[in-house]
Amino acid sequence: MRGVRLEGVGLEKRFGRVAALRGVDLEVRPGESLAVLGANGAGKSTLLRILAGLSRPSAGRFEAHLADAADPLSRERLRGHVGYVGHASLLYGELTARENLAFAARLHGAGTTDDALDSILGPLGLLDVADRRAGTFSRGMTQRLAIARAIVHDPDVLLLDEPFTGLDEVSARRLSGRLGALRERGHSLVLITHDPRRAIELAERGLVLHRGRVRARLSAGADFELEALREILARLGREEEADRAA
């Protein structure tokens, strides 16, 4: 059985005197999809970096296990099982799309034949621009190429930080379709988004953060539906406004 289980218990992260995460518990089992929502500064990106093995919690415990394995993965081994897309694209503007993908594939020991690379670029609508320099790409094309780079090694877990930001509707639909296809193939997905519609479309469960704390957990069914999610986010927004006015 393929897959990686992610588990965080009492996760805290501090930057000096600022607490970005405060006692966060979560689990993502192999093949599951989780949407993480919340306002700017809620701690979403900080949490995702911990899940990717790119940052250590200041307190609490984070472990990643291969399916059916008792011993946790080291952070270095975890990175080989994870595809991460943060706010920076990690692309080289002077290289073409295909060259960027080939470089990332070599880092992970993945296939670099044209057929292998084209099988990733094609579903993301990048085949026609595969030989253009990435520095000439639009925001939507850059975002899709960053996704391609993240999945070039067929990772068990895909961690995406606001992947739909700045995309036009056509690019967003194309990306959504590709992520849905990866889910159907058994990949786990942790998605940070401001958009409740995308959260419900792509995830089975929702986690709402506010000021570094978990304020809501939503499961598939009655809890995880559009109006309920919008109401939770609106209520937290009103709390934030009231605190600023106090």
244 has pLDDT over 70: yes
- pLDDT confidence tier of residue 2, bands split at 50, 70 and 90: low
Quote the pLDDT of residue 1: 53
Task: Round to whole Å and give the CA distance between 157 and 80.
Answer: 10
Quote the pLDDT of residue 70: 83
241 has pLDDT over 70: yes
133 has pLDDT over 70: yes
Quote the pLDDT of residue 3: 87
User: Could you read off the pLDDT of 55-80 as tens digits, one per residue?
Assistant: 999 999 999 999 878 899 998 889 88
Higher pLDDT pick, 104 / 168: 104
Task: Round to whole Å and give the CA distance between 171 and 238.
Answer: 32
136 has pLDDT over 90: yes
Q: Which residues contact 43 (CB under 8 A, 6 or more apart)?
A: 13, 20, 21, 22, 24, 209, 211, 212
User: Could you read off the pLDDT of 197-234 as tens digits, one per residue?
Assistant: 999 999 999 999 999 999 999 987 667 888 888 999 99
Mean pLDDT, the chain, rounded, equals 91
Quote the pLDDT of residue 170: 84
Q: Does domain 1-81+192-246 have CATH number 3.30.43.10?
A: no
Residue given tokens 């000096």 in the structure block? 16
